[in-house]
Structure formats: C-alpha cells, structure tokens
A and B are shown apart, each in its own frame.
Chain A
C-alpha cells in the first residue's frame, strides 16, 4: 500500500533532494518578496503595484533564533495521541538576499542543543505526518554541517 505524497500547503515549496526550494512571489515593480506567497497584491505601500511572479527562495540562510515545542501542540497540528510526545525544534531563518525570516521545523534529530544563532541551515523536504492514504510533506531546516 503506497500513500500519496501531498504538500501540507499547495504551492509553498517544490522539488526533491538537492532541488528542493521554498516558493515565494516577487513583485516586478519593487522586488519585494513574499512568503507565504502573495499572489493578489504587493503589500509594499510605496509600490504602485507590479506583477507577482513565483520565485524560488534561497536554499540556505542563517539562524535568526530557535526554540522547541516540549508539549503537544493543539489541533489543527496533527499528532498521534497514542504515542508519547516527541519534542521538535523550530528555527527562524534569515534569508540574506530576500531579506526576510522564515520559520520552520528542524529536521528530526536536531535539538536546540545542536543550534546557535547565526548558524547556516538549508531547506530540505520533510514529512509532517502520515495518515492512511497520504504522506503530508513540508519543509524543514537542517544545519549544513549536520550529517543526519
């Protein structure tokens, strides 16, 4: 039995392995980048409004800050109440050329003890959770120095 791989949100990321990228949009008039993607209007008040085109974000950035979830988050986060809760780290990552900060889960196995502000990380494909028919995919941050 094989599950269908479905992104937890459509259009936010693409690709596999080395080709994995977060997807945002960029305004053709002012070069502002939006993530999550903004397809309807440019939010820069100083911009007359350009075309918003899909753009892959930089695959690497630096840790702006980090924390973790030691307790099970409430719904709509999906977790199996039958299993004991496994904390995961959350990393806010600053992308230099886009000049924005994107939050994401760390890859499994990376804890806050492995992280430091300013550390280089990369966006990699990950699995958020699975149900009977579907593997729900997401993005995760992994330190570029990590071997995991």
Chain B
C-alpha cells in the first residue's frame, strides 16, 4: 500500500486558442498553483514537466523550460512524455519523489499550444514510426479511430447518435459554468445533429477540439502539509500508469492492427478497464465509493465507454446511465462536471493535470456553480496513445 500525498495547490491558464507559446500558459498555471498553495517558488525543490512534441526542444524538456521561465533556483527537474497520459505520468513521478523522501514540495506543470486542424505526426519520412504510417498509408486521423469505436458501440450495445449528442449537451451545459473552459455556450441536440460528419458516425460537435492551455499542481508530503498549516488537504491516493497486457485486442491509436490472440489468450480485463482497476486497487476503493469522475471524452461516444470501463455501470449500459441523468450534476455519479474535453478541447500534456485540478476544486467545495454536493472521492481516467494508462484517485 502506498501513502497519500497532499495537493497543496492547483492552477490553470484558461483553455482557448490564444496564439502564444506553451511556456506562457505553463508559467501562468504554475504561478496560480503556487499562489493557491501559499508556497513560494523558492520553496519548490523539484519540478516535473509534462512534455509536448509541438514546442520543439523546449517542449521535450518541459521541466527545465518551466523552471527556467520561473527563474532558475536550482530545483531538480524531470520531463516526461506519455502522449495524452503525460500529465498523469508527471504526477506519478512527483509522487514517487515525495513518497521516497527525495523531495518535499514538487511542482507539476503541463502546457500546450495546439495547431489548427487535425493533429499530425512530426515531419520527415519515418516508415518505422506507426504514427507516421497510419497517416501515410491510411490517412487515419484521430477522429477516424473515435468513429470506429463509436460505430462498434452502436452495433454491439445499441447506442444511438442521439445518445452521443446527449453527452455533448450535458458537458456543454457544465462547461458553461467553468471559467477555465474554452467553450462556454450550451449546445442543443439539434445543433449536434446539424454539425458536419467528420468520421462517421461522429459529427464535429461529437469530437473534441485541440486547444491551448496550461495546468499545474503543487504536491507535498502529508507531514509538510501539516507543518504548512493544512490539516485536511485533498490527497492523491492512487496514480495508475499501467500499460496493456499482451495481446491487446482492441485497436488502439496509432496502430494499424491489433495484437494477435493466436499465441496467447487475452487477459480477462481489456486495457481501458485495467487502467481504472489498478487505480481502485491502489486506493482501496471501488466505483461505488466515487462522488465524481473526470474522464477523457475525446469523443462523446468515448465518454460512454469510460462509464463501463470505470465500472459505473455494466457493459452495454452506459447509454442507459446517461439517459437516467446519473452522470450529470445532481445525478448519482456526475461525470465531467468540469465540462470535459467537449468544453475544453485537448491541450495534450496539460489535460490529465487539469482533470486533477477539477477534482481538487470539487473535493474542497470550491467548484462554484458546478459543485458536486458533498464530494469526497474522485477519479480521473485517460488513455495516451502508444499504450499509456492514466487514472488518479483523489480524496478529502
């Protein structure tokens, strides 16, 4: 059993398309998190940056980039990359330093400046790179994979485009209440249905945008938090960064094919479910203990998939859970009270950190109009391409 670490402070730079360097968003988020924590930058003894592939070299060495921008003060730095799961891996690295006694106060920062349109691979001819190959050979953008998953849910579980649209309607209504969200207008099911198809059966308003944004968290040991005068901090109780088990039989970005099950039987639990399972095991809780969840709704249909993978309902019943209103504010288990990616768009290395910012505000009772009443336990869930699990459990 691992120990808890304290969340001393959280901060974000609002999501949007601001046209500035990712460093600026990260620094703004870091300063907000330090102010929220009541911690001076000089007191931070380690910085972990979630890297971005879009900022050139400074993006790859994000930890050092943010430390330099905040003013070199000698802190140890680390930079981690795990695609969409980069933020969770940064938190995991920070937590490991604290629990091992190597650091007392760690600043975790992720930020991105996203291009217009589809994400695309880095330039050059790289026939050994699966991410390059899927674009070169198939033109398979991220939304086409979301479309494959959505269509399969429709065929297997009876989900409908109207169900998918209701996820957007729910998340847009919640995002309208969140000052850090990029999209703050409510959306109707008719507007979703009238938006252009991008990757059948998904329409523009079913698919998350790509955004600029930054998020930061200040973590510390429980003893430090007490000395700092915070007797009951929000605590991180689990960080799951598990990878798949061979054979991974669900087609996953950026792959052109799955593993073969001809030489080994698949594990009973598919990858996405195993991500949450590891978090539950580490935290010693189950889905019945949750007050809320923040999940990676790259598409509306994927949000439904996460309901099942988190065990909020049985397989095939996510649509029913949504239609019952269980996953909106006031329901049994609100999902994406922040408004989710539907309202934020994706700022890749910042996103998993932003999920933890939301849990923190909710668990403190500081989430304003989108507050989940009496929130005590929250989970985040996310999956980074190339086999990266990401799930964080926070408690108060």
Q: Which residues of A contact B (CB under 8 A)?
A: 8-9, 27, 30-36, 42-47, 64-71, 73-79, 88-90, 92, 97-105, 112, 116-118, 128, 138
B235-288 with Cβ < 8 A to chain A: 246-247, 249, 251, 256-264
Residue B56 CB within 8 A of the other chain: no
Shortest C-beta distance, B164 to chain A (Å), equals 13
| Chain B nearest CB, measured from A48 CB (Å) | 12
Asked if A65 contacts B136 (CB within 8 A), the reply is no
Q: Does B138 contact A (CB under 8 A)?
A: yes
B229 within 8 A of A: no
CB distance from A72 to the nearest CB of B (A): 8
A-B contacts besides A44-B246, A69-B140, 18 pairs, CB < 8 Å: A8-B136, A31-B263, A45-B246, A46-B246, A65-B251, A66-B148, A67-B147, A67-B200, A74-B135, A77-B135, A90-B144, A98-B260, A100-B259, A102-B256, A103-B140, A116-B155, A117-B155, A138-B137
Chain A contact residues, majority secondary structure:
loop
Instruction: Say yes or no for B158: interface residue by CB 8 A criterion.
Output: no
Q: Which of B133, B149, B200, B249 contacts A36 (CB 8 A)?
A: B133
Q: Given A43-B246, A67-B144, A70-B200 in contact, is the A100-B257 Cβ separation under 8 Å?
A: yes
- Cβ A9 vs Cβ B148 within 8 A: no
Chain B residues within 8 Å of A69, by CB = 139-141, 144, 199
In the complex, how many angstroms separate the beta carbon of A123 from the nearest chain B beta carbon? 12
Flag if A101 contacts B257 (CB, 8 Å). Answer: yes
Cβ distance B209 to chain A, nearest Cβ, rounded Å: 14
Of B12-20, B32-40, B44-52, B118-126, which binds chain A? B118-126
Partner of B141, one of A74, A98, A103, A138: A74
**Complex contacts, A73 vs chain B, CB 8 Å:** 118, 135, 139-141
Q: How far is the CA of A42 from the CA of B246 in the complex (A)?
A: 11
Partner of A65, one of B132, B151, B197, B264: B151
Q: Contact at B141–A101, with CB atoms within 8 Å?
A: no
Q: Contact between A32 and B247 (Cβ–Cβ < 8 Å)? A: yes
The answer to the question of B102 belonging to the interface, with a C-beta cut-off of 8 Å to chain A, is: no
| B262 & A31 in contact (Cβ 8 Å cutoff) | yes
The yes or no answer to B325 lying at the interface (CB within 8 A) is no
Q: Which residues B68-124 have CB closer than 8 A to chain A?
A: 117-118, 120-121
- B198 beta carbon closer than 8 Å to chain A: yes
- The size class of the interface chain B forms with chain A is 35 or more
**Which residues from chain B contact A34 at a C-beta distance below 8 Å?**
260
Residues of A within 8 A of B140 (CB): 69, 73, 90, 103
Q: Are A36 and B256 in contact (CB under 8 A)?
A: yes
Asked if residues B199 and A76 are in contact (CB atoms below 8 Å), the reply is no
| B126-160 at interface with A (beta carbon < 8 Å) | 127, 130, 132-141, 144, 147-152, 155-156
B196 at interface (Cβ–Cβ under 8 A)? yes
B121 touches A46 (CB 8 A): no
Q: Which residues of B contact A46 (CB under 8 A)?
A: 246, 264
Contact partner, A70, options B120, B197, B257, B259, Cβ 8 Å = B197
Cα of A63 to Cα of B1 in the assembled complex, Å: 44
CB-nearest residue of chain A relative to B203?
A70
Whole-angstrom distance between the Cβ of A49 and the nearest chain B Cβ: 12
**How far is the CB of A139 from the nearest CB of chain B, in Å?**
9
Which A residues are in CB contact (< 8 Å) with B134?
A: 103
In the complex, the answer to whether B148 meets A67 with C-beta atoms within 8 Å is: yes
| B135 and A75 form a contact (CB under 8 A) | yes
Bound-complex Cα distance A42 to B130 (A): 17
B133–A92 contact, CB under 8 A? no
User: How far apart are B297's CB and chain A's nearest CB, in angstroms?
Assistant: 18
What are the residues of chain A within 8 A of B127 when measuring CB–CB?
A: 9
Report the Cα distance A92→B155, complex, angstroms: 14
Which residues of B lie under 8 Å from residue A100 when comparing CB positions?
A: 247, 249, 257-262
Task: Assess whether B257 is in contact with A36, with CB atoms less than 8 Å apart.
Answer: yes
Give the residues in chain A near B156, CB-CB below 8 Å: 117
B121 (CB) vs chain A CBs: closest residue: A76
